[in-house]
Structure 1
Amino acid sequence: MKRLSNLLAALVFASLVIFMSCGGGGSDPGPSELEITVENLTVSGGFSNPATVQTDGGTPDGDWDSFGISFTGDVNGGSYTVSNVPDGFSDVWANGTWTINNAGNQITKVQGGVTTAISATISDGGLTLEFDVAQPSGRTSGIGGTWTFVFN
């Protein structure tokens, strides 16, 4: 009888250990702010036809009306693809990779081995990007300076 009692006690103890280790299955906290920001950045179809393109406060040369950019990836970064970049402006935008800071307000782009910090405002359906482009040597002037792209 004592053996049965010990076996029963061991079984109860093992059951308690199993139930306690299962976890509570509590509520799902949902996506973080950064995950939501990146979800807005990597929206299907990307961003096209910017409402505003400026360089150093003025309108740049070239036809930027049909410019588009599409980001793929996650909170760890990814790649971006651009379309309809006006001729001669590949120092401003060319396909590359990106990462984002934890606050979700700065994107780092790498294109052609050049790393550029971009101040970013990302919202549901909207994107504003501002960054500096160095004046390329041996080319026509007018590309270097601060660029701002606003998509609605």
Structure 2
Amino acid sequence: MKRLSNLLAALVFASLVIFMSCGGSGGSDGPSDLEIAVENLTVSGGFSGPTSVQTDNGDADGEWQDFGITFKGTVEGGNYTVSNVPDGFSDVWANGTWTINDAGTVITKTQGGVDTDIVATIGEGSLTLEFDVDDPSARTSGIAGTWTFVFN
């Protein structure tokens, strides 16, 4: 009887070990929020024709309807290129590099050696970018302030 009791205890213990080692899917739980944000940010063809460009004072000066931006890279960051920036607005956008925070909500753009944090809302096929521009060169009045670009 003692032998049967020991055998039963061993079977119960072995069963627990087997069930505990099976836990979960054994693989990853899919892409992280950061990976999804970067995948949506680096979409082929980029973003063009913003539906809205705003500054502190309302609609932005300049002809932004043909503006485009393309991000290339990985979760480690990469390069971005811009097209059709209105004359005199290179302090707002010029080609540069980017990195992104772990939450996928703040992009740091670096252009001309200056880092600018951009609050980003990145969706599938949509992008909203909000950032402050200093007036370092004062080439064009009205550039300084908060800028918001919305792409849908």
Relative to the length of structure 2, the TM-score reads 0.80
Please name the residue that 1:66 is paired with: 66
- 2:46 aligned with 1:46: yes
Residue identity opposite 1:112 in structure 2: G
Please name the residue that 1:151 is paired with: 151
Counting matched residue pairs gives 128
1:21-60 equivalences under 5 Å are: 26-60=26-60
Q: Which of structure 1's runs of 4+ aligned residues deviate more than 6 A? A: none
Contact 2:53 2:147 in 1 (8 A): yes
Residue identity opposite 2:66 in structure 1: S
Aligned pair in 2 of structure 1 residues 46, 138: CA closer, same or farther (>3 Å)?
closer
Where structure 1 has 5 or more consecutive residues not aligned to the other structure, the ranges are 1-24
What is the percent sequence identity of the aligned residues? Answer: 73
Where structure 2 has 5 or more consecutive residues not aligned to the other structure, the ranges are 1-24
When the two chains are superposed, the root-mean-square deviation of aligned CA atoms in Å is 1.3
Please name the residue that 1:128 is paired with: 128
Contact 1:136 1:143 in 2 (8 A): no
Contact 1:106 1:120 in 2 (8 A): yes
Aligned pair in 2 of structure 1 residues 32, 142: CA closer, same or farther (>3 Å)?
same
Residue identity opposite 2:141 in structure 1: S
